[in-house]
Amino acid sequence: MDPWELVEEEIRSCRRCPLHAYRRNAVPGEGRRDAELVFIGEAPGRVEDETGRPFVGAAGKLLTSLIEGMGLRREDVYITNIVKCRPPNNRDPEPGEIEACIPYLKRQLNMIRPRVVVALGRHAARTLFEAAGLRWRSMARDHGRPVEAELWGVRVTLYPTYHPAAALYNPKLRESLEKDFEKLAKLLGSRRRTGTLLDYL
């Protein structure tokens, strides 16, 4: 079986943590399987659970418009989450749930081998910083600052920013998020000029 089909099938039928009991659909992720740029959120919400697709609710609409604001399309990037099943009432994922789910992300990143990984929100950022052996401080301090990181054998630029859901009703955070995406576009553009980023912008 194709390794992508295999990992997606394993995610859809996964019972490694208690979240499987609550889900309607697991949400493996979607987008280009050779994307240079990957977005990683926290966990599916209600609409994602209903559709099996990542970031398709209100926060997803904002994420999509931020991606388009960089001159890209959603289909040009890969979008997934740290945890692939919706926690009940959208509570934060628990450490054991993250631990059970992270091997899927590890496999996905090793197949995609992106150059830039954007961590959306503090849960994704903390998990990815820790996986890379880096010290996570806080979103207020570290958002919009690219760091070089090795995630499960894949060398990437890790870029933390606010979660779009947090920015929906907070104009200050939204402004920060928009600025971070402007910086991200520049980062991608400068990487392209140095010949390390292939087909963006």
- Residue found by looking up tokens 């991608």 in the block: 188
Return the residue of 131, 165, 167, 197 that touches ligand URA, per CB under 6 A. Answer: 165
Question: According to the binding rule CB under 6 A, does residue 31 interact with ligand URA?
Answer: no
Which residue lies nearer to ligand URA by CB, 56 or 100? 56
8 Å CB contact between 25 and 52: yes
Q: Give the strand pairing for 147-151 and 154-161.
A: antiparallel
8 Å CB contact between 40 and 86: no
CA distance 168 to 120: 13
Name the residue number minimizing CB distance to ligand URA: 41
Question: According to the binding rule CB under 6 A, does residue 55 interact with ligand URA?
Answer: yes
Window 56-95: contact mask with ligand URA (x via CB under 6 A): -x-xx--------------------x--------------
Strands (E), the chain: 30-31, 37-41, 78-81, 116-120, 147-151, 154-161
Which residue lies nearer to ligand URA by CB, 37 or 197? 37
The counts of H helices and E strands in the chain are: 8, 6
Return the residue of 31, 54, 114, 160 that touches ligand URA, per CB under 6 A. Answer: 54
- Residue found by looking up tokens 């979008």 in the block: 79
Name the one range near ligand URA by CB under 6 A: 10-18, 35-43, 67-75, 187-195: 35-43
Point out which residues bind ligand URA (CB under 6 A). 41-45, 48, 54-55, 57, 59-60, 81, 165
